[in-house]
A and B are shown apart, each in its own frame.
Chain A
């Protein structure tokens, strides 16, 4: 009937078995990860039926471990259930040892105890009582209650046997109480023996460490407290120290602390802020490390391994987002030793700059770690110095010309001999327009160039050219009045040594503006000629086109054209190579004569990145990536119209100063690079990238898909020179190092060792939204059958982000392809139109073509966003890739937001939320949308991909209440005239049916004429209160109905009722009143208590088969026949607070349903044959 194909819900339990396995509890499912070399999931079993796993307790192994070959026994518990399991076959086999034990009360902790005839289980219950359980039989041997009969939020049961066991409870009164369950007579209640007050909120988690006699508690009050309680559960004094004391109060979390763990010397705490803090015991409790790897909703589960050789430990964090991260932390003893006393700046190394003057610009040449490469610094004394092998040496002295003002940029080039890997071209520019270029290995031989009349504002290199040797580069010098001079520089090996040759090119002219200089540039090779994309300090992006010089070249030899044209320049220059510095000056006149007039931009996106300017440009597979100090990365392409922005990606809140983009994919092979079609069409897929920039006083590497900081270096903030060295493998970007200048000192951060370590972590499972997922939409299928087959979904949530997901139903794998964070409030609704690739084209998706869809999302603050998504499969290679193109954005109160001094006035308009969205018509270029609005209106918008705008066409306040849901359907009458109906519902339980044909039919589409749309054709009272969900199905006249078309309209309400109305459509010959349509309700059915909670989402697989869901966590399948509605099946879902649902038909008689809420669940619906048979329903009626 229905079965789970994929599930992502909050991780509520994690536990290590030695350093070998990690066990995860997600909903009722226990998963085992093997931690050998390449950690991966090796076994999985659904064990707790309708309960969530809240704890996993492996049976303590005897010291000799003789029994370990039999496997590991575990007890898993959650809610009112306890289950005994065995893990064997090297983690491959997971089996249930006894039937599920159901308790009367909620289990907060389970503890292995030894009994006379084998192991027993002690269970701490939520009403401050404890059970002794025989795990094999599942029977209760003893029950003991405390005199304090209050509710506990957390508990621990400790001790070796029941008789000396101690229960630690975290009560609703914000206290810890200790008492002995095994020490009382039957029928008597045990007294509280110790009481630990201090917390100001309820206690969510407890942890006890036997070795030190410490107890840790995590609380709603955002603190962790560590108490000295002595030996608990010991034979002599089970309740430990008679006077327990509070040793530490640890405040560091930004929100509630959900979970705490202890190791000797460390406290680990995980909280709602998504972070896991490692507290060192020394120094009064300082934060040694912050492990941040989860999205909204926080860390719900935390496990710390015992530590293997070298005392390094695994730490695993599980999030409300369903993600699991594995981190390695050093043993606390060694770390303490290494760190000594000075904490501040420990992770930073002072390179101890020695030389005259103050360092101004710093650059690093070479692969990987700065210590293996070269650090190049220039000073205000006009000198360039080199740091190599731990020593500083002066390299070049520019004399008075370069003092006090000197810009510098270094390009890495391929060298010869021993310096091959560390050769660089260094360019420096002066206040008077002088530019010098020299090789790092040969600073005395260089060229002198004329950068312009005034000061050289900036110097930029363009390297990475297609020449095999990697010994060429373009140099751009931005001078006065927007004139950017350009040269091609080449390094050559001659018998006289290395020779530098400069070939001047036509200069570029930046458009006039206040800060008229170049800040970023990228060079694109095209068959017709070169394209130069430039970014300036004013925030504009500019496109320059450089046609090939004719020079008598034959068109057929276009490929070598450029090469030859340079040669022409070179040959004219050959007589005197510009190798002598002094000779350079004389050539200036000649040089300027040779170059042509300045190139003007052919396309300009003025101020695109805001007034603070563009900082970075790069290209990758036909797409451009720009970063700026507006906190945005833009993905662009060069299209027919020039530069076109495809989408904007913002960094995290407060990170407004971006400096660079690093593409995560390894660069493609030469063949791919040269593929002209790819380059020209610009349909290259978007790559995963990370953003580098400043976030207050930190330099941060931000991963926009994972929504996390990969690296954070406290450098003092922006306005400083820096250079970033990514990790050698090119993938662990966050593990690179930063070299920067702070107050005249050259500092470098220590890059971390092997992954996963200091900054990095291993993603055992990727997380989704974290907070509630409010809406889900199925886009289609990508890839071929088998391993490459993925369903593409989009979800929107309370975390204000949209996520593009790929789900593999066979394996249950869920991958986030892209996270879009343009919404400023809760995303409540989504819709998608599948459209064939191209801006307006429509048609069927064919093999090899990407899945292309237009997605519109809407939600709080009356905000709407439209995107085109291009998703393509990667065959057997892995997950699909997704390119996001931003189409349009709209806010109802956009006027208000643009108003100046708005903080001084009170905004009287309501804070409208968009509750639901539906596509009315998508036959034309602009898509017509209906929106349900919380201010009582139904609004009609059109969104045009060509114009990139939303337009409000019509609104009606007919409902006068919050409009909750909209749905549409369209049909054709006998004359082939299209009819479009809109259904809207509000909190009064009524469904209004509108004829939208006048708007949808293009000839009447002038917005002015649509003002006078009629009142609803029909109002159907369907529910007592709010109607949350609608589903519509149309059966046209083609199916053989005597009376024309009929519409099946299903609705689900806050009252838990499911209603269905079958509406007949009759066309009138003479359309006098304008509509020409009569609607008649043919039959109405309802199930009053379809769900025990509000029915929040509905889907229709056929007019005879409905799927519904609700926060009662049941997914129900309903069959509609001419005798009424009947339930076909129910499935208990582990997605709490179910808010959205999408259904679609698969291959064969299979269908799929995806439920979203506090997580995501994909269900396979089989057994469709009789329920899905529409004929049966329709024939007899």
Chain B
């Protein structure tokens, strides 16, 4: 396994690097747009849980870039990216380092739009997973609902909301919650998202909150429950929204394994990633393991303490970003 093996396993990973996207997920938004025309007439867009910024990159290129014919239109476009973590700046994208569950964040977004509501809100956030499917699906649903909650504060009626969703055991409960706020809810799967993954995207069109609905950030928006006698659990009344596969069939197949030499005319060159990976939570543990300093049954105890102090030392000597931000919601895109 060399550094090129991931290029072979995942064609969109490779393409993302070659086209300068910060993550392969950029293709997912592009393909969703191909199908739904998400960016048509959009002047104000919000990217929630934006880091490392690939969706903001797409918004920036598509709303402001050469695709937009009239220069003035491009000037008018405002894009806000919200995340707990800072990310590298992007042209025409305003960053807000904040928590999507806070009313102050919603207010700041509106301030950037000079009091105007947004036309489009997108969210590609995914939580730290536990490996237990029921817990992971629940947490992902809460993230989506937090995004929906802030969206109800900033989205114009008739606006569009796009978010990542896990198609798991209770996804129908989320659909029913979303259908309260949007007249058109579709489950869409871009072709750049792997067939094998349970990831999909809800494209919620025509924001039309129920009459008298007052956006409220002080209580979390909760997901629905099955009806009392569980008829919906195993019965036919489950709310399943239409499914749509997005993207041109002639595009690359995310499940296919390609040779490094894609066509005869062009020699393969390894491209390094556009952005280095974020620092993982297990960094310290890995450092200890690498130096054989993890506590073991047959190792004397004092080593662990010594190791830890040695660790602290090296951490403080190293780059100062070892500690991840310790406030707000922690989600990686």
Contacts and interface: CB of A to CB of B under 8 A. Distances in A.
Contacts of A908: 259-261, 268
Given A961-B253, A987-B253, A1112 B171 contact: yes
Contacts of B304: 250-252, 284-286
A596 B331 CA distance: 81
A1131 B234 contact: yes
A987 B256 contact: yes
A1056 interface: yes
B249 A1114 contact: no
A1024 interface: yes
A280 B253 CA distance: 53
Contacts of A197: 326
B132 A10 contact: yes
B142 interface: yes
A219 B281 contact: yes
A859 interface: no
Given A252-B294, A1132-B234, A1094 B195 contact: yes
Contacts of A150: 99, 101, 329
Interface stretch (A226-234, A874-882, A1085-1093): A1085-1093
Nearest to B253: A961
A212 interface: no
Interface stretch (B37-45, B203-211, B282-290): B282-290
A986 to B, nearest CB: 8
Given A201-B281, A1093-B167, A250 B259 contact: no
Q: How many residues of A sit at the interface, in one of the four size bands?
A: 35 or more
Given A105-B222, A200-B284, A934-B256, A1093 B4 contact: no
Q: How many residues of B sit at the interface, in one of the four size bands?
A: 35 or more
Interface string A44-80: 0000011110000000000000000000000000011
A911 B8 contact: yes
Given A50-B169, A284-B302, A1025 B195 contact: yes
Contact of B195 (A104, A149, A343, A1026): A1026
Contacts of A1055: 189, 243, 245
Given A105-B222, A150-B101, A911-B9, A221 B168 contact: no
B282 A1088 contact: no
Contacts of B302: 283-284
B295 A285 contact: yes
A287 B132 contact: no
Interface stretch (B22-30, B116-124, B133-141): B133-141
Interface in B257-273: 257-261, 268
Contacts of A289: 297
Contacts of A1093: 167-168, 171, 198
Interface residues of A, dominant DSSP: loop
A79 B130 CA distance: 14
B307 to A, nearest CB: 7
B308 interface: yes
B90 interface: no
B256 A283 contact: no
Nearest to A277: B295
B235 interface: yes
Given A173-B328, A1092-B171, A254 B234 contact: no
A911 B301 CA distance: 44
B213 interface: no
A935 B171 contact: no
B167 A1025 contact: no
B133 A911 contact: no
B15 interface: no
A962 B234 contact: no
B140 to A, nearest CB: 11
Contacts of A126: 138, 142
Interface in A205-260: 219-223, 249-256, 258
Contacts of A913: 257
Nearest to A128: B220
A169 to B, nearest CB: 14
Given A912-B257, A1088-B242, A1112 B300 contact: no
A908 B260 CA distance: 5
Given A286-B300, A911-B8, A1112 B244 contact: no
Contacts of A149: 101, 218-220
Interface string A957-989: 000011010000000000000000000001111
B33 interface: no
Contact of B297 (A290, A912, A1056): A290
Contacts of B191: 987, 1025
B256 A936 contact: yes
A383 interface: no
Contacts of B235: 1130
B192 to A, nearest CB: 11
Given A126-B142, A1024-B245, A1025-B189, A52 B134 contact: yes
A1094 B167 contact: yes
A986 B249 CA distance: 11
Contacts of B308: 249, 251
B201 to A, nearest CB: 13
A964 B253 CA distance: 12
Given A50-B230, A220-B281, A1092 B101 contact: no
B86 interface: no
A1111 B289 contact: no
A347 to B, nearest CB: 8
Contacts of B329: 150-151, 172-173
A915 B178 CA distance: 35
A251 B254 CA distance: 38
B220 A127 contact: yes
Nearest to B138: A106
B157 interface: no
A440 B145 CA distance: 80
Interface string A533-577: 000000000000000000000000000000000000000000000
B8 A1092 contact: no
Contacts of B324: 174, 200
B167 A1111 contact: yes
B296 interface: yes
Contacts of B277: none
Nearest to B241: A1089
A320 B294 contact: no
Contact of B169 (A256, A272, A1054, A1113): A1113
Contacts of A344: 298, 300
Nearest to B308: A249
Contacts of A80: 225
A828 to B, nearest CB: 10
B230 A12 contact: no
A221 B328 contact: no
Contact of A151 (B139, B240, B305): B139
A204 interface: yes
Given A221-B281, A910-B257, A1089-B240, 17 more contacts: A106-B138, A149-B218, A149-B219, A173-B330, A174-B330, A200-B281, A282-B301, A284-B304, A284-B305, A286-B295, A910-B8, A913-B257, A989-B245, A1024-B243, A1111-B168, A1111-B198, A1136-B169
29 contacts: A12-B132, A49-B233, A50-B233, A172-B128, A175-B326, A197-B326, A200-B323, A201-B128, A204-B130, A221-B284, A221-B285, A250-B295, A283-B301, A344-B300, A906-B268, A907-B260, A934-B255, A935-B258, A961-B255, A1024-B243, A1028-B195, A1055-B245, A1093-B171, A1094-B167, A1094-B198, A1114-B169, A1127-B236, A1137-B133, A1158-B133
| The 5 A-B residue pairs with the shortest CB-CB distance in the complex, in nearest-first order | A201-B281, A286-B301, A1136-B133, A222-B285, A283-B301
Interface of A: 10, 12, 49-52, 79-80, 102, 104-106, 126-127, 145, 149-151, 153, 172-175, 189, 197, 199-202, 204, 219-223, 249-256, 258, 272, 277, 279-280, 282-290, 297-298, 300, 320, 343-344, 714, 903, 906-913, 934-936, 961-962, 964, 986-989, 1024-1026, 1028, 1054-1057, 1088-1089, 1092-1094, 1111-1114, 1127, 1130-1132, 1136-1137, 1158
